[in-house]
Amino acid sequence: MVRHVYSDMTSESLSWWDDLGFVFAKRRIMVWWLHPRMVYMDRLEALATEQCAAEYPKGQDNWLAHSTPIHRAVQGGRRKRTVGHRMGSISERYRQYFDHLQATQDALSQQDHGWSIGASLRSEVLGWCQGVNLVVPMEVRCEDDLRPLRELVECYLRGDRSALTGFPAYTFANWQKDQEQRRRKRGAAEDGHTEKN
C-alpha cells in the first residue's frame, strides 16, 4: 500500500518521511519511515519551542480557539451540517511569537548540537496491524524506492538483526550539506520564477 504521490519529486529532491503497507506472513505490516534529517529537524523544532516557551502568548489571545463553523445544507432537506471551520486572522502577538520561533530555529540549525542519529527500527503490535517505526538514511523519490525499505523490514521481521548495520549516522555535517542543497534548489526555483515574469 502506497499512500503518497511522487509527481513533484526529482532526482535531486530530499525525502523526509513516508508510509508503506504490505502483508508479511499473513500479517498486515505498516511501516512509518523517517529519514534521519527529519529526526534532526524535529529535534531542532523541539529545542526552539523549548527556548521560546516563555514567550508563547497565553490567556484569551488563543486564535485557535476562535473559529466560525462552515455549514452546508444536507442533500434533500433543510438541515445543515458542519463541514469545517474558518479560522480568524492570527493576532499580532502570535505572529511575533511564530516569527521569533522561526528565527530561533534558523539560528539553532546553524549550530552543531552533537547529535548523531543512527538507523533504528522499533516494532509494535497494534489492534489493526504490526507497526514498524523505521529511521534509515535512504531517499524515497518514487514507488520503486520503497522496495529497499520493504526488504529491510522483511529481513528484520525474519530475525536478521544485522539488517540495520552499515548505515552511517546522520550528523551536523550531513545537515549542513542538506541545507545547502535546499538553498540551491530554492535559488534555482526563484530564478526560474523571475525569468517567467
CA distance readout (Å), 104 to 28, 97, 98, 111? 42, 10, 10, 11
Average pLDDT, the chain: 90
Tell me the three cell numbers of residue 103. 528565527
Which position has the higher pLDDT, 77 or 156?
Answer: 156
Of 13-22, 77-86, 159-168, 172-181, minimum mean pLDDT range: 77-86
**% of the chain residues with pLDDT over 70:** 92
Q: Express each pLDDT in 105-120 by its tens digit.
A: 999 999 999 999 999 9
Q: DSSP per residue over 12-60, as a string?
A: TPPP-EEEEEEEETTEEEEEEEE-HHHHHHHHHHHHHHHHTGGGS--SS
Determine the average pLDDT of the residues in 55-67. 72
Average pLDDT (4-33) is 94
Give me 124's grid cell: 509494535
Please say if the pLDDT value at position 131 is more than 70. Answer: yes
Percent of the chain at pLDDT exceeding 90: 68
Q: What is the pLDDT of residues 77-107, one digit of tens each?
A: 777 888 888 887 777 888 999 999 999 999 9
Confidence at 61, pLDDT banded by 50, 70, 90: low
